[in-house]
Structure 1
Amino acid sequence: MVVYRQPLDLRRLQQFLAVADAAGFTRAAQELHLSQQALSSSIARLEAEMGVALFDRTTRQVQLTKAGRALHDGAGVLLAAAEHLVRQARDAPAQSLRPFVIGHTPAVTPAEVHSLIEPVLAALPELPITVIQMYPGSFHQALLEGRIDAALRRGVAVPQDLAAATIAYTPARIAVRASHRLAARRSISVSDLRGERIIVWGPPGASFYTDFILSTCRRAGFEPTITVNRVQGTPPASAVLDNEGIAFVTDPPGPTMDHQAIVIDLAEPPLVPVQMLWLPNTVSAARDLLVTQSQGR
């Protein structure tokens, strides 16, 4: 027997989020321009429809119950997916297509991004694509707000309320200043970096790329000396321009940064993943192409 359940009211879900984030009905009602009584009645109706209590009202401050916390964890993504669907419906009759917007971290080079989107350019020639460099910490909110459609980063862990797939692996190389003692080498091994200062872009434990580099060096039999780059957001190879350090990069081998730095191949190079993040429960032909072309790679 099929049991009919009334679909979740998105307006009430939005009101629930407002109460939860404000930790009270008074402030939430003011933000929503509703009377406190109307807001309280709406939340009570939501609780009745779901068959669970969402707030513990026995304390001075309104607190989420276990059911409320579970709903809160997924509510933002669900509302964002609904807004995404509305945008798609509104854009459907338009003469010009809405751009597919990709955010990427500085660790994923523009050349890598272009290589990844080539199948999309070929399959969807009329679709405009916008590529934006962003810091990884801003991806989550940008996806929820619809400012980007996909995000590219170095990583493998899947965020709790986002969808993810590893769509490429790029060989790691190293960059050194043109005057560095290793600059004339065509290829080196990771073990040759023992005793060198390695420049990273985030502290251990806070950056997947840094942890990846540390793990690569440890597998080669040494504990690396690392320094966090004082300049953020510039091309990775730029980290060695004013020092004698080493930077792990994914640029092609040879001169770079106006010949001020040299990129050198690593023997048996470690492969650095490129992970794509997106909003679950959404549809995108361009995003699907990025995933399927990675499966055939």
Structure 2
Amino acid sequence: MELRHLRYFVVLADELHFGRAARRLSISQPPLSVAIRQLEESVGARLFDRNSKEVRLTPAGQALQASARRLLRQAEEAALEAHDVSQGSAGRLRIGFVGATLYRGLPQALAKFQARHPAVRVTLAELNSGEQITELLHDRLDFGFVHTSRMPAELRHELLLSEPFVACLPVGHRLARRRTVAIASLRDEPFVLFSRSASPDYHERILAICADAGFRPEVRHEVRHWLSVVSLVSQGMGVALVPSALRRAALRGALFRPLDEDVAGSDAYCVWREGPENAVVQGFLRAVRAGVPAADQA
């Protein structure tokens, strides 16, 4: 059974006249007759009673008519959906993100993308960088925001932004009134640190910044999310070095001060799978590029 046969059948069922049906289909009458005969052979039943005066649907034809219309409609919808997906105007987009991305333009990029592509179903998953890479490799994510440039060959990545680290201090801290903070002045402070397992790059970057200032920090607490870092600092449980975007978190009890020296910045990357171009992913990437805020300046 072919869709062409069903289309011919539906038109003939409407017209109940081979000549008129053939004209609607823009074919001659013999190919229409052949197609109807092939369809009847395929279903194993006579679909039309015809003689020199009239054409009528048989009970089998009447039973097939509604199903044939439904199948043709589903085929048209499937073709339209495939076309829309190829153009990036429909489909799904599974996005992974690290928490700091919420303050780096992700909500704005999503709003812009959804306004242009309302039929695309977007789902978000907060995961650390390593988890996102694993999910991307197993095709359980389409796009990610990570803190590392160390990627498997199967993934493509692009630097989203680079921003300075700032000192995160509890309100009332002895350094709170300073306009800038020297890293060495944090030597004897308990640190709240992003855990190595959650993000080796960030963990090592902060240890290296402290080492360049001449000390190894006393790491009192390790957590898996940047908002947890800021939250613990706000509770007076230590100090931290965090990406400047976290200033937008506006958690009470925590304040942020620029560092008084240049250090390696905090890099954020977007990442997606290598392979045939996905129009939905490319459309979102364009929205991300257009929506990245300017990095905070120390």
Coarse TM-score class (shorter-chain normalised): 0.5 to 0.7
- Equivalent positions of 1:176-215 (< 5 A) are 176-203=169-196, 207-215=200-208
Secondary structure of residue in 1 paired with 2:91: coil
Residues 102 and 130, structure 1, Cα contact 8 Å, conserved in 2 = yes
Shift of 1:279: 1.0
Shift of 1:269: 4.7
Residues 173 and 269, structure 1, Cα contact 8 Å, conserved in 2 = no
The corresponding residue for 2:135 is 142
Structure 1 residues 105 and 122, CA gap change in structure 2 (3 angstroms): closer
Secondary structure of residue in 2 paired with 1:98: strand
The corresponding residue for 2:282 is 285
Shift of 1:288: 4.5
Residues 253 and 263, structure 1, Cα contact 8 Å, conserved in 2 = yes
Structure 1 vs Structure 2 CA RMSD: 3.8
User: What is the number of residues matched between the two proteins?
Assistant: 206
Structure 1 or 2: more helix by fraction: 2
Shift of 1:208: 0.8
Shift of 1:281: 0.7
Structure 1 residues 192 and 233, CA gap change in structure 2 (3 angstroms): closer
- Give CA deviations for 1:85-122 in whole Å, capped at 9, x if unaligned: xxx9475289962343321123x24111438838x927
- Asked if residue 126 in structure 1 is aligned to residue 117 in structure 2, the reply is yes
- Cα distance in 1, alignment partners of residues 114 and 199 from structure 2: 37
Secondary structure of residue in 1 paired with 2:116: coil
Greater radius of gyration (CA):
2
Counting aligned pairs with the same residue, the percent is 20
Residues 192 and 237, structure 2, Cα contact 8 Å, conserved in 1 = no
- Equivalent positions of 1:35-46 (< 5 A) are none
Residues 128 and 146, structure 2, Cα contact 8 Å, conserved in 1 = no
Structure 1 residues 230 and 121, CA gap change in structure 2 (3 angstroms): closer
The corresponding residue for 2:104 is 112
The corresponding residue for 2:167 is 174
- Cα distance in 2, alignment partners of residues 288 and 242 from structure 1: 37
Residues 255 and 262, structure 1, Cα contact 8 Å, conserved in 2 = no
Structure 1 residues 254 and 188, CA gap change in structure 2 (3 angstroms): farther
Residue type of the alignment partner of 1:212: R
Secondary structure of residue in 1 paired with 2:176: coil
- Cα distance in 2, alignment partners of residues 205 and 147 from structure 1: 19
- Give CA deviations for 1:9-54 in whole Å, capped at 9, x if unaligned: xxxxxxxxxxxxxxxxxxxxxxxxxxxxxxxxxxxxxxxxxxxxxx
Structure 1 residues 235 and 121, CA gap change in structure 2 (3 angstroms): farther
Shift of 1:169: 0.4
Structure 1 residues 105 and 204, CA gap change in structure 2 (3 angstroms): closer
From 222, 241, 245, the counterpart of 1:248? 241
- Cα distance in 1, alignment partners of residues 207 and 139 from structure 2: 34
Residue type of the alignment partner of 1:261: A
Residues 97 and 126, structure 2, Cα contact 8 Å, conserved in 1 = yes
Shift of 1:123: 11
